[in-house]
Structure 1
Amino acid sequence: MSLAFDLESNLIDLRSARIFSPANRVWDELDTIPGELVPVSETDAVTRLQQQSGRCRVPVGILGGRKASEEQLADALALGTLIAQMGLTLICGGRQGVMEATCKGAAEAGGICVGLLPDENPGAANPYVTIPLATGIGVARNAILTRAALCLVAIGGSYGTLSEIAFGLQFEKKVLGLSGAPNIPGMLPCRSPKEAAARIARVVLNLPQ
């Protein structure tokens, strides 16, 4: 592992001799690397930084349809849990299927789920949404969701998911694909929720993929 915390809880990148600034998510040069360090993974680093300051308040976007396979629902549930465990907020369409599964995983892990609903009724949100936002603008909310997210993870794929992927790539967001997501140039495929969580952590830490 190339990341480690020093005794003052500063995150250090050992490969490039840089120190992370959580306030603006940038890495600054270090003259010398401290002697006593505790190595951490990317996800553990984000978890600790969020516990210390909670500065990464931009949500992670989850894309997926109301109809999904058992594998996709299981991956969505697991990823929602991992996102919440890192102390990150989740944003999605707020309805059923992949959206409900990922909200359930996050909610049961104590996380916050923002549901950006296409209709005017906040009661249409799945029961695990923490903050339902009833936009009343239909599928146009797909553009808002992708613009608002720090990065995006597509699980499976339908026409709505495809449009969100396209918006995400157009907005130059990192878009990850999981569990049968469309293989579109520019997306980053992930083999498991754990790999997707590690890639999300690298986005938060402003590290290359």
Structure 2
Amino acid sequence: MPPSDEDRAKVQAAAAAWLNRGGETEPGRPRPTPEAVAAAREDVLHEAGAKFREVAVGSLARAARRAARCEGVGPEGAGGMSAALALPDSARLVASWRAGVLSLPDDRVPCPGMIWRSPGEGGREGVWRHVRKAMLVFLDEWGEHAADLGWSTDALFGVHRGAGALRSDSTGALVSLYPRRCIALWEREIHLERRGSIMVDRGLINPADSVPLWLFAASQKRIAHNTLGQFI
């Protein structure tokens, strides 16, 4: 069921706290309002999306050249892009997913709602790094099958455009708090296992507000370095 107004308010407060985690601003210089941050993020999402598509195209061309070398096809060069376009649709989509996951940092969490250290005394460090690795394992083992079944980028790797992984209704199946292994996959259902516990995901409830995790991460980095820099 969709989140209640109370749940939305809690998520907004948590997201705001995550954005403001850098400390106090310089005296006399206010922090940007949530509205200003949201507007800046939308601008960055559009720009980052265009840049990522360029990166994905390059990744596809490299994948096509590797495939061509394995098959003994002619020399590399201008034909790389046409060879990339000749790849099956599923292979092209998986290549774009892989480029997105590889663009994510492995030394810090990319959005609110993810964790670096598991809670409790003696909690394990690097939890997000293992989640990122699990995403790549999924692409190796299930990627093309997921693409063939019609799973979208957001259904697997999406987060809420404003609150990240704090909003489960817009968060993809593989953006999990802890790393999980896919054990079964159908058109509208994916089974993910961790330590004997199986989670079943049946897709996004609120796909309209979901964006790929790597675009959210890129927008956060840009906002932190540019937009917020105007205020602190």
- Identify whether the pair has TM-score above 0.5, normalized to the shorter chain: no
Higher relative contact order (CA 8 A, sep 6+): 2
Q: TM-score, normalised by structure 1?
A: 0.31
Between Structure 1 and Structure 2, the one with more strand by share is 1
